[in-house]
Structure 1
Amino acid sequence: MIKVLIADDHPVVRRGLRETLSETDDIHVAGEAASVHEVRERVRAERWDVILLDISLQGGNGIELLPEIRKERPDARVVILTVYSEQQYAIRALRAGAAGFLTKEAAPEKLIEAIRKVAGGGRWVSPELAETLASLLAGETSGEPHERLSNRELEILKMIASGRTVSEIAKDLALSVKTVSTHRTRILHKMSMRTNAELTHYAVRHGIVS
């Protein structure tokens, strides 16, 4: 039996995932978590075969949590399950230690297939992402400018491009205005841009925000 932890901040999503996985005879959802704090507690308290981890969690970011999970439970296999597109986060999630990456638009049978594959020691990505990874390994593409950003910087880029002010971002992320401003400066430098308008145009063009 594959023991699964669902980590998602939306109760409706958790319930839907539980119902989907209950239709199998080899996968058992043994726990749920809505926040970074709850994930840490559940991971420390129990052994898990597979952790379904959303990127957006109460109190933090799932990808930033990945190294902690890998350190605490090296045998646990983490599948990122998110609304964000592969283009935005998949490669950085895999680099951080995820064994699989799916968007929430994936068919239920794909989710079940992914859980079974990673539980058996494999990895799961879509054919499209596999092609992108193969191209990167072959040196055929150097990646997009936003791939140079840290997870926190990408998060702040998304918020800037969504029209949030530095003060609003600082409040939402529990950071100082100075820290957010420093992140913004680094983002502009890494992406060779000078204004928020340029960042916003880039983010819309690349599907980082709608």
Structure 2
Amino acid sequence: MTIRVLICDDHLIVRQGIKQVLAEAEDLRVMGEAASGPEALQQVRSGMATGQGPDVVLLDIAMPQRDGLDTLKSLKGEFPKLPVLMLSTYPDRQYAVRSLKLGAAGYLNKSADSEQMIEAVRTVARGRLFITPSVAEHLAGAVGAGGRAADEGLPLHELLSHREHQVFRLLVAGRSVGEIAQQLSLSSNTVSTYRARILEKTGVRNDVELTLFAMRNESVAP
């Protein structure tokens, strides 16, 4: 059985590298590439409509227009059974648990070797969850008795909702409320409300302290 793979990453050289890795496996075939979240969604929709959609989506977290987590949320909303394997250069503790909570079938750092990437694609294509020992450790730390989030043991930035986390990252990147509103297609008042919640949850008073908080907690990639 051939596993059809869609690669979504905004860097051409990364997509080419992943294609070369997957070409080593006879049962894997790259059926398409996307450079953004909207492009990935369009390709999946078109493929599924003709019965030629991907069996697995490899999705980068950091992308323009719509980040990987937002794209993941849309993909799982429309195609809940489609396995999505998240790729990232960020440390596992930053996004692994968040990705899995949003429905990802696995999380893999781009520094992984070719054998591990091929294994990950095959694993999620079979309907199983792919978790490295590092991710398993962070996942265990994020789950309390009864499967509930152990909020007391999580870094503050991991207590944010998905949308709050998006706003958090953009604020730390120096974006204004107006710029964030435009990028996320929200009103400025809504972004201001999210900002207020973020400041409250992180225990800081302004954007400067929020940036320092992010640096101390390695919440945002340099």
With over 3 angstroms needed to count, the CA separation of the structure-2 counterparts of 1:103 and 1:197, relative to structure 1, is same
Tell me how far apart the structure 2 counterparts of residues 118 and 151 of structure 1 sit (CA, whole Å).
23
Query: 2:26 aligns to what SS in structure 1?
Result: coil
Structure 1 stretch 43-52 or stretch 68-77: which is displaced more? Answer: 68-77
**What residue number does 2:191 align with?**
180
Kept in 1: contact 2:38–2:71 (CA 8 A) = no
**What residue number does 2:168 align with?**
157
Query: 1:57 aligns to what SS in structure 2?
Result: coil
**What residue number does 1:76 align with?**
82
Tell me how far apart the structure 2 counterparts of residues 170 and 137 of structure 1 sit (CA, whole Å).
32
For 1:163-202, list aligned pairs within 5 A.
163-170=174-181, 172-173=183-184, 175-202=186-213
What whole-Å deviation, never above 9, does each CA across 1:89-121 have from its counterpart, x for those lacking one?
Answer: 111110110000012122222211111111122
For 1:20-35, list aligned pairs within 5 A.
20-35=21-36
Q: 1:67 aligns with which of 64, 73, 84?
A: 73
**What residue number does 1:19 align with?**
20
What whole-Å deviation, never above 9, does each CA across 1:153-195 have from its counterpart, x for those lacking one?
Answer: 2233223333444445445555554443332212102222212
Query: 1:56 aligns to what SS in structure 2?
Result: coil
**Structure 1 residue ranges, 4+ long, deviating more than 6 angstroms after superposition:** none
Query: 1:23 aligns to what SS in structure 2?
Result: coil
Tell me how far apart the structure 1 counterparts of residues 174 and 63 of structure 2 sit (CA, whole Å).
21
Q: 2:130 aligns with which of 124, 135, 140?
A: 124
Query: 1:60 aligns to what SS in structure 2?
Result: coil
Kept in 1: contact 2:85–2:108 (CA 8 A) = yes
The percent identity for this pair of structures is 43
Q: CA deviation at 1:58?
A: 3.2
Kept in 1: contact 2:97–2:142 (CA 8 A) = no
Kept in 2: contact 1:145–1:190 (CA 8 A) = yes
Tell me how far apart the structure 1 counterparts of residues 86 and 36 of structure 2 sit (CA, whole Å).
15
Tell me how far apart the structure 1 counterparts of residues 168 and 83 of structure 2 sit (CA, whole Å).
29
Kept in 1: contact 2:83–2:104 (CA 8 A) = yes
1:154 maps to a residue whose letter is: H
Tell me how far apart the structure 2 counterparts of residues 156 and 116 of structure 1 sit (CA, whole Å).
34
Q: CA deviation at 1:152?
A: 3.0
Q: Does 1:99 align with 2:110?
A: no
Kept in 1: contact 2:97–2:138 (CA 8 A) = no
The alignment yields a C-alpha RMSD, in angstroms, of 2.2
Tell me how far apart the structure 2 counterparts of residues 17 and 4 of structure 1 sit (CA, whole Å).
11
**What residue number does 1:207 align with?**
218
Q: CA deviation at 1:151?
A: 2.7
With over 3 angstroms needed to count, the CA separation of the structure-2 counterparts of 1:75 and 1:137, relative to structure 1, is same
Kept in 2: contact 1:161–1:200 (CA 8 A) = yes
